[in-house]
Amino acid sequence: MTETLPPVGIDLFDVERLLLTEAAEPPLPPHDAEARDRAWEMAVRANPALFDGPAVACGGLERTGPRTLHLSWVRVTYRHYALRRVPGATALPSLFVNVVQPTGDGRVLAARMSPSTAAPGRWQLPGGSVEPPQDGAVLDESALAGQAARELAEELGISTAAKDLRLWVVTRGENGSVGLTYLAPALPEVAVRAAFAAAAAAERAQGREPELDDIALVRSPEKLVELTGPHADYLEPIVRRYTARG
């Protein structure tokens, strides 16, 4: 028998095995679809950098064993999340990967989103939305680790093999959004800062604004209060769990 997990607050789940199943997107009444499209168009006018690309939403999350979760996923585009602005409509929770990048002295990297992003000024872990598989590929644990490694390389300039990332914890928080948090090998602070500076410079050389405009290394959750601006809801619990490992 499976146990449906209650969507309350910020939930953190230790996990050793993740089972994935694709599900169909629930049908949407025409009036909700029209309201969604209007909300999306307004969002794009406010931030022209928004792109209605393919994404993966969470269709459901269940515990099927002490450290096993079953996750059903649904193909959507970013337009789908404009349903959050439609009264009475229900949007599927988003699904994303992120990475805890520690330094050798036990600190954790937090990153700030650039002004042109969907969450300007927000402090969070490096990562991004899960993308659907292409050309007959499957979405499995290996593919998800690969996406997490790609986010780490694109945003921070840190090249870590997918096999060296360990799925460490699963979070569920704002809007029911589900995050798959991977733990990366520790690196020296100088290597982390040099990689980030080089990645940001490369983006600007191409005429693009980097997705992240600043990083900070924090030793405890109490240090997060020194980071001015909004914080991702999972950031404090994740930092607290990592720094309390002892």
Rg (CA), the chain: 18
4/65 Cα distance (integer angstroms): 12
**Res 9: pLDDT:** 57
**Res 8: pLDDT:** 41
With a cut of 70, which residues of the chain have pLDDT below it? 1-9, 246
Burial tier of 60 (Cβ tally within 10 Å: 0-12, 13-18, 19+): middle
245/183 Cα distance (integer angstroms): 13
**Res 6: pLDDT:** 41
CATH number of 8-243: 3.90.79.10
**Res 90: pLDDT:** 92
61/58 Cα distance (integer angstroms): 8
Name the residue ranges covered by the structural domains of the chain.
8-243
Residue 237 host element (H or E): helix 235-243
**Res 174: pLDDT:** 76
Q: In what order do the strands lie in the sheet with 54-65?
A: 3-4, 54-65, 68-77, 17-23
pLDDT in tens, 1-51: 344 444 445 788 888 899 999 999 999 999 999 999 999 999 999 888 889
pLDDT in tens, 181-200: 999 999 999 999 999 999 99
